Chains A and B, each alone.
Chain A
Amino acid sequence: MSYDVILDGLLLVTLLVIGVPVPICFAAAALLLIVLGEFGTPMFLVSAGYSKLSSIVLLAIPLYILAGGLMSHGGIAGRLVDFAESVAGRFRGGMGVVVIISTAVFGAISGMASSAVAAIGGIMIPRLVERGYDRNYAVSLVACSSVLALLIPPSASMIIFGWVTNTSITALFLAPILPGFLLIMLFMFWNRVLTRNMPIKAPEPVGFVDAAKIASVKAKRAAFGLAMPLIILGCIYGGVTTPTEAAAIAVVYAIPVGFLIYRDLNWKSFYDIVWKSAQTSGVLMVLIFFASMLARLFTMENVPQEMMGSFLAVTENKILLLLMINLFLVVIGMFMDDVSGILLVSPMLLPIMLKLGVDPIHFGAIVAVNLGMGLITPPTAPILYFAAMVGGVKLGGILKPTLVFVLFAYLPVVLLTTFLPDLSMALPRLILGLE
């Protein structure tokens, strides 16, 4: 690898560590390569960034963010929690299960782990504490479950991965679903184990018929929110629309639901949600703009090929290489958010994965679970910090249960996703008929 690229990597890491915004870190790294290299005018870079950005595929991201913003405003989080509580809350440790299910479903609607923490955490942490759960444990559970938003479709991370690696987004939406479900199961198991010594108060006993009636009422109240991911997925997998068009349908669906059915929206809140969602999208898109510029320079400097050479120089054993790549992805996930991580490493690692015979769709699932785990793994762990803030606890207190979830739920899923391709390839093969 050339000294210019090594120096560039060091600059990128230094700027990230001192807190320079990630898009500016990418821009600075591109700037340094232009100054040091012999690329002539930088105009081709702006053109590369613009041509990548002006893509109809990427248009899905702002539309999903807007649909999620409209649906998750107001009472949908409360309705989801009420419904999940009516089903699972009656059992011992059931409130923990409510958190896991609610954050997974809310993540699917809003598409963002942080909004799942804010919305579900805000409601559930006080309720869990009231029922006798340890506050630190409650915060940790909310943070760890919220990362399921990356795995349950429609996921912005998978759209970006598909766009970067030129892989079918329809297939990528399906790939992390089974690893996501496995994770849900493991979370439920560890929730049962970790809460067994907590002084949890049992809820008032209710007969089966009454419980079913309550659940049906709560389900009706939450139905319009629950229907949104189904409409999106139905449109895409029914072959009716592209993911971008499905996202526009989701926005148009969310507007009358918010105004007329849930009545959570008024013109002022609608206006605020729309411009705030556009701001969130803008922040992501400018990150993609500068990352595309840097990626073009890295390609011109043969960085992906040299990266592959470096990995293969260590070992040619497929299992060891996959373990190294997993470790590399987790470390990237620990220091970066999922979008930046995908933009930076996917184009570099894809040639290695293809050489190892890993399908790009399978690789997408590997990236999603690894970067998801990184979001809750210290030292940076942005979701963990945010959850600690929402729950009003210190980070040190939530580390112990978080480590249990990371080591005994996330890690096994990461390894299974990596070494058992069928786990991520089964649904794309079954639904899309892929080879």
Chain B
Amino acid sequence: MKRLTRRSILAAAPAAALALRAWPARAKNPGVTDTEIKIGNTVPYSGPASSYGTIGKAQAAYWKMLNDNGGINGRKVNFISYDDAYTPPKTVEMVRKLVEQDEVLCTSATLGTPTNSAIWQYMNQKKVPQLFVATGATKWNDPKGHPWTIGWQPNYQSEGHVYAAYILATKPDGKIGVLYQNDDFGKDYLKGIKDGLRDKVSMIINESPYETTDPTVDSLIVGMKAAGCDVFLNTAIPKFAAQAIRKAAEIEWKPLHVLSSVGNSVGAALKPAGLENAKDIVSDFYLKDPTDPAWQDDQARKDWLAFMDKYYPEGDKTDVGNVIGYSFGQTVAQVLKQCGDELTRENVMKQAANLHDFVVPMTLPGIKLNTTPTDFAPIKQVQMAKFTGERWELFGQLLTGASS
């Protein structure tokens, strides 16, 4: 073994210096320069799920507004969004493009459960923050197994628990019919409801799945009435939720009607179904429905409308997706702000896991976002409301559904 003499060190020095110089100059941080922060996402802008595309467009509009108002810490945000048509292979391709070609700092609000599942492993292997995934699946709250992925909205199973608790409290001898979409999101709701009912799961006497390609769910509703259901758990997306509401009224079926937060927008679901048909429906909320007269004079809603008018005028103001996209933008902006000048991927993830009572204006009053290194569920609370025939009336407390 050579002795580490001064001479040998001096001899090695020029070689070392040369090696260091030859080392490829890395960007200071991926996605960050002195004037710009690059973030990216994938959203279905085409294909059967294209109705969710507006969530991406609303986010893009939000970043435009933020940039017009000075950006974050003196930097503009460059938001790159690609279409994945809701197909996982395309999501993988586009996210790899974002990470490897565009070199974004992080992704924000990538949409969909199977699509996010497809990139879950990749993002964690590459150590790129997969921030605030736009899906309510329960599995994203996994800081140990997947420390680079964090959810945002209350997950479907916890909502299912909330519904189950409500039903057990108001109609403990009821016969339940469940309408759900035959995919991950619908089945997650079903699981949450069943887990929430615990030993009274036999209350469910009719489980009716539908596919998004089905033209109508009318016959499923007829089936529920015929089976004798007096509780109706409607977890469908607005189109089918509206069909169900209208059909139930048509066949004069008046169950205890529990609607999920996915299908409860006044403008997007209840109005087409007929407001008088929706009377007495119960649902849960974590966001303010901009079409609900209850929020007429709310400042946050006014701000949001002003934002839509100026930055996304062609956007549909009755579509809650535009509220969601706007709120995503605000949450990511908060994380970036908390990073200060240290805009590394590690710090972004650290700050995402470090939200304290952060208020997103379009969430219900009292809801605060909280995350810790062991708790990756920013929004946990919902509140129930009853529809009066004109507007949703909140009742009770903010609830947290426990989830497995």
**Chains A and B form a bound pair:** no
